[in-house]
Structure 1
Amino acid sequence: MENNMTERGKEIRPEAYQQNYEQFRSLNQIMWQIPVLAMTLTGGLWFGVSQILDTPLLVSVLLVTAAVGNITFIAVLHRFRHVMQCYLDWLKEADRAAYVDASPSSEDTGLGSRLARKNMGVRTLFSAMLGWAAAGSIILLVGYWIDRGSALNMNRYQSAIEYYDRYATALADSYEAVAFERAYPFLINRLSQGSLRIADIGAGTGRDAAWLADHGHTVTAIEPSQTMLTLAQRLHPRQEIQWVSDRLPSLRDAALRGTQFDLVLINAVWMHIAPADRRAALDRILELLEPNGSAFVSLRLGPADAARGMHPIDPSDFVLTAEDAGFEVLPQGDFPDILGRPEISWKVFELRLIQ
């Protein structure tokens, strides 16, 4: 009976060999299609992203799909190659004489030659290519959101400038109606002690700059809205005022290079500075101050009007950031809105250089 089973095994061996051989060939052909499918998927999704950059949710979905798809293809590729290796091992055992061994030999000394003959070298190269496509998709996703965040911040700042350009004349009436003493009650005593060099950042209609100039101080009035700046120069022509068109966080106008001030006023400005730019703005303020100088910053507390280019403000976060930048932070008080808006209040801080 044992002899009969042996004879029967010999009869079916060619059929089994042929069946496994054909199965191996089929898997091999499919494996070579995986990179083609992956690149088609990735290229199509990347092209789709390039056409819908203004739709962030869909952009994110497509790029995540590209990354996950390529990672999935890597897993499928590894599984296919494992199964193929099982078939190769069986074919080798079934017919060692006819089996072609493509493993590297001792004669293959070159890197290229050894890589070409390396066991599962093709799978490794394919996996690296798919991994690169997946990583590229993630890099594109991160870069997209970084660029979008920067663009949104810039758009908000631009919205603020456009708002003040458009409504400069209408705003001037309410701004000019407020007396300096009412806006800065905590500064009156200090300003009466002698002439100071003062920077008024966000000078608006020039109300504050004019008062300071009239009281013996030398003022640099800085305003990013060209319409507002022109209006300020017309309303308050003073030789003691130098008018500058610039804005935080950069303040790189030639008139400000190497210049330092005894006092810097930043009133009703901080809400227009994007959170990501606030540390840079504080660093620039620090550069503008004389060693014994001070900066006074007012924080607008209340709803942030995005249409006017405003961002939310957290006073505790401001204090921590200012201290980290090298300032001693001194609270100057809480104040109601001087224009009578009940939903808005103000908190003022003095910033001094840590000696």
Structure 2
Amino acid sequence: MTREESAPLDPPTAYARLREEAPISRVSLWGGRATPWLVTRWEDARTVLANPAFSSETSRPGYPNAVEDAPEMPPGYFFAHDDPAHDSFRRILTREFMVKRIEALREPTTKIFEQLLDKMTDSDGPVDFVEAIALPLPSLVICELLGVPYEKHDFFQSHSKVLIDSAVTGEQKAAAHQALGDYLEQLVEEKRRVPQDDLVSRLGESVNAGTLSVRDAADVGAFLLFAGHETTANMIGLGVLALLEHPDQIHRLFAGKAELANAVEELLRYLTIAHTGLNRVALDDVTVGDVTIRAGEGVIILLNSANRDTDAFSDADVLDLARSNARQHVAFGYGIHQCLGQPLARMELQTVLPQVFTRLPNLRVEPGAVRFKQTSAAYGPSFMPVTW
């Protein structure tokens, strides 16, 4: 559904009506050849996402893929699979995203930001904030974590955009999967021969131990590579836009560590980049609210609608960086498939947002010039000209 041009940071207004009148209702995909259920309320979203009777397997009949000819997801894209396959991959990666390990990246992230900002401010502006800061910063950070050469960023960024764009064909998505996997497969083999202190090297160790195949390790790396930069890049851009619209709240970023963390949670709730929701298919007949979803029927869970549910968040359409229950949002999903990389995203946002407004207290966006990714599964600005 279309967002209002006058309120690009808000979900489509139709979602509020659906939450009130038909919180679980049918929608049409693929020209009417699929009619999955649409879940719009916070409580119902958590109910579906926590219930193992709803499958994440994208190849199951009835699964509401964004495109009708969507390619089958390889095992390494573990978010698109159920347990035990999902759990086996997630266990291998959990330690990589523990808070202590992510905290070790905070100082390098700060240095990366300072270098990017120094380069941006060498110009007189206007400068595209997405190209100068929002996209390269998480790309550089995820490359450092994985051990992927940043020189390849044009390659993986272009293929990543294809993977989350609902306007491209399944054939194009399959080609992007293949290209990213082929590149990471070569890198895994290199790291097996000459291991370093990075995540791809540790995936190589799992290959050597017989835990993963080379291709599975490559696909895991490819998934983390595109998921680790595209999502956070959008949140950085949207976060800056939201704070510029609410300058009276910027001081909350500097009120203390806990206050900064809470401010980031509220921005995650308020902005929720998951533009097209999370998808599932029912394995059994399940009643959610007053609707019975039959086995084989698809479900789309609108996270950005759930996070604006007034039954869960008072004045939900208001950005309140001091909101007491902001962390109850579902911006990272919910249940066993909740986003593995959320500690990394939080760290990057907590690091970048205060420094943007410290270094650029007079930051301004060119009025009416921002363009947004309307067909991307991860919503955010594609072009954001700024001056300072």
What's the TM-score bracket when you normalise by the shorter of the two chains? under 0.3
> Normalized per residue, which structure has more strand?
1
User: Which of 1 and 2 has greater Rg?
Assistant: 1
> Normalized per residue, which structure has more helix?
1
Greater RCO (Cα-Cα under 8 Å, separation 6 or more): 2
What is the TM-score when the length of structure 2 is the normalising length? 0.21
